[in-house]
Every structure is written in structure tokens, then in C-alpha cells.
């Protein structure tokens, strides 16, 4: 009988602690607005891989984390690559007898460096699944979104200007593509109790449905009107600067009413 009473007291204390802990859990889920600075290390597939290899994305965005751990984001990134494939680096058939692609205006061979440049912008919604008992501000995250992606060949001509590649003519060679895109992200999201360490990382997937916005390529003398699917898989890391819209005490007062 004595042990039964002890066990009963233990169960009551344990259940009380669990209820208090559950209450405490809720207090540690803050409403937070974040500025985010993004890096993507990207690989290509689909039609994208016919033009480019690996690339980098540097971006900026904002997100809002609700008390119930819904995450709403808006972001944009610039894309850069010097890893051009056969369809990109060797576009031109306009070579002279010495094998140079272009001559400068004074008749000397001109070195033309090609790189890929582009940008993407997305609006996203997602959910954070917390793993910490007393802090729901971090955990595993999934997101999905939609937006726009564009990419093109950028001409760097360090010598004197090349008439064949003036600003107007470049439009016939630069393979400017653009179109709507979808996005998915899975990773881990962390906002510390100290509010000083805030980041997330994971794998980012983009599917862009693009077309050649120039429509006609000067080097091949052909129209390019078909739709393309440009796929990107990236490792993403983002650092966040938070603005807390609610404190632990404010959440406690709210729950107590």
C-alpha cells in the first residue's frame, strides 16, 4: 500500500512536469522576421547541363517564422559559372585561319572570355519540425515555391572593342533564356536561444521551364523556339539576421490569458 501511494505520487508529479514542459515548449516558439544571405553550390541537369556545368548562386532574401512554425520566404539569387559545356563555350563558327574566334577592330586576334550569368527569384512556404524539447525555433524544414529564372552568356572582352560583338550583336549569341520555375528545399533550420547563431542548410531543387528569348541564334543561323527544362540541384547554406517579433515573456503572457 505504501509503495502504491509512492507510485501514485510519482505519476502525479511526472504528469504535472510533462504538462508544464508542454506548456513551456509553446513559450519557446517565437514569431521571427529574418534577413537571409544565401550561398548555393549548384550542379546542372536537363537542358541546363547541355550548356553549363557547376555554378554558384549568391542571394538575399527575407523570411517570417510564425509561432506555429510555418515559414514564409521571398528571395533572389544571382548565378555565376565559368564551367561551360560544348553548347556554350564553343558556340561560334566564326573563326579565321589562325583559329581565333574573333578579330579586334585593329585586326589582331581578340580573346573573348565567356561566362554564364543569371538570376532567379522565388516565393516559398514551408514548415519547421522542431527537434529540441524546449526550443521550437529550430528543426528539420521542408519548403516549396514558385518563381522565375533567367540565364545567358556574358562576354568579357578585355581588349579593344570587337565589332562583331557590339552590344546589339551580342544578343544574337548570348543564348538568353528565361521562364517560370518551381522549387523544393529540404534541410535543417537553426535559431539559437542566444539569438546570435542563426542559419539553415540543406538541398535545394529547381525546375525551370525556359525558352530562348532571342529566338534566333546568329552563329548557327537557326531559330530556337522550343521549350527547355533547366534543372538545378544545389547545396544551400544561409545565414540569418533575426528580428524577434515576440519574446518568451510575451508568449507566456499570451498563453496565460
Q: Give the count of beta carbons closer than 10 Å to the beta carbon of residue 43.
A: 16
- Of 147, 142, 122, the closest CA to residue 71 belongs to 142
The pLDDT value given to residue 174: 86
- How many CA atoms within 13 Å lie on the side-chain side of 4? 1
- In tens digits, what is the pLDDT along the chain, a chain of 257 residues? 544 454 444 444 444 444 444 444 445 688 999 999 999 999 999 998 988 899 999 999 999 999 999 999 999 999 999 888 765 444 554 445 555 566 667 766 666 778 899 999 999 999 999 987 778 898 999 999 999 999 998 888 765 567 777 777 888 888 899 999 999 999 999 998 888 999 999 999 999 999 999 988 877 788 888 899 999 999 999 999 999 987 654 444 434 33
Q: What does the domain layout of the chain look like in residue ranges?
A: 2-256
**Do 41 and 238 touch, CB atoms closer than 8 A?**
no
Alpha helices in 28-67 (DSSP H): 48-51
- Of 56, 59, 58, the closest CA to residue 35 belongs to 59
The pLDDT value given to residue 251: 45
The pLDDT value given to residue 253: 41
**Do 176 and 214 touch, CB atoms closer than 8 A?**
yes
Place of cell 552563329: 219
CA distances from 79 to 70, 89, 121 (A): 28, 17, 11
Q: CA 82, 84, 88 angle in degrees (round to 5)? A: 130
Q: How far apart are CA 230 and CA 180, in angstroms?
A: 10
Q: How far apart are CA 31 and CA 240, in angstroms?
A: 14
Task: Specify the CATH number for 2-256; select among 2.40.160.20, 2.30.110.10, 2.60.40.10, 3.40.50.1110.
Answer: 2.40.160.20
Bridge partners of residue 150, in order along the sequence: 119, 178
- The secondary structure of residue 163, as a DSSP letter, is G
Burial of 169 (0-12, 13-18, 19+ CB in 10 A): middle
- Of 135, 171, 166, the closest CA to residue 152 belongs to 171
**2-27 vs 248-256: helix axis angle to the nearest 10?**
120
pTM flag (> 0.75): yes
Amino acid at each position: 500500500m505504501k509503495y502504491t501511494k509512492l507510485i501514485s505520487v510519482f505519476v502525479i508529479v511526472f504528469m504535472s512536469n510533462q504538462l508544464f514542459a508542454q506548456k513551456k515548449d509553446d513559450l519557446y516558439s517565437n514569431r521571427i522576421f529574418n534577413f537571409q544571405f544565401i550561398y548555393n553550390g549548384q550542379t546542372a541537369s536537363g537542358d541546363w547541363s547541355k550548356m553549363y556545368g557547376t555554378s554558384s548562386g549568391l542571394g538575399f532574401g527575407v523570411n517570417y517564422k510564425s509561432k506555429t512554425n510555418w515559414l514564409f520566404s521571398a528571395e533572389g539569387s544571382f548565378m555565376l559559372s565559368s564551367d561551360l559545356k560544348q553548347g556554350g563555350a564553343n558556340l561560334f563558327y566564326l573563326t579565321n585561319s589562325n583559329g581565333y574566334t574573333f578579330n579586334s577592330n585593329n585586326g589582331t586576334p581578340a580573346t573573348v572570355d565567356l561566362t554564364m550569368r543569371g538570376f532567379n527569384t522565388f516565393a516559398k512556404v514551408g514548415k519547421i519540425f522542431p527537434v529540441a524539447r524546449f526550443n521550437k525555433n529550430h528543426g528539420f524544414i521542408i519548403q516549396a515555391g514558385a518563381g522565375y529564372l533567367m540565364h545567358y552568356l556574358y562576354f568579357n572582352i578585355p581588349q579593344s572593342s570587337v565589332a562583331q560583338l557590339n552590344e546589339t550583336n551580342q544578343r544574337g549569341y548570348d543564348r538568353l533564356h528565361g521562364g517560370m520555375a518551381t522549387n523544393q528545399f529540404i534541410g535543417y533550420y537553426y535559431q539559437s536561444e542566444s539569438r546570435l547563431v542563426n542559419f539553415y542548410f540543406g538541398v535545394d531543387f529547381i525546375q525551370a521551364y525556359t525558352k530562348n528569348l532571342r529566338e534566333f541564334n546568329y552563329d548557327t543561323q537557326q531559330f530556337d523556339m522550343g521549350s527547355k527544362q533547366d534543372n538545378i540541384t544545389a547545396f544551400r547554406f544561409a545565414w540569418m539576421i533575426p528580428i524577434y517579433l515576440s519574446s518568451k515573456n510575451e508568449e507566456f503572457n499570451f498563453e496565460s490569458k
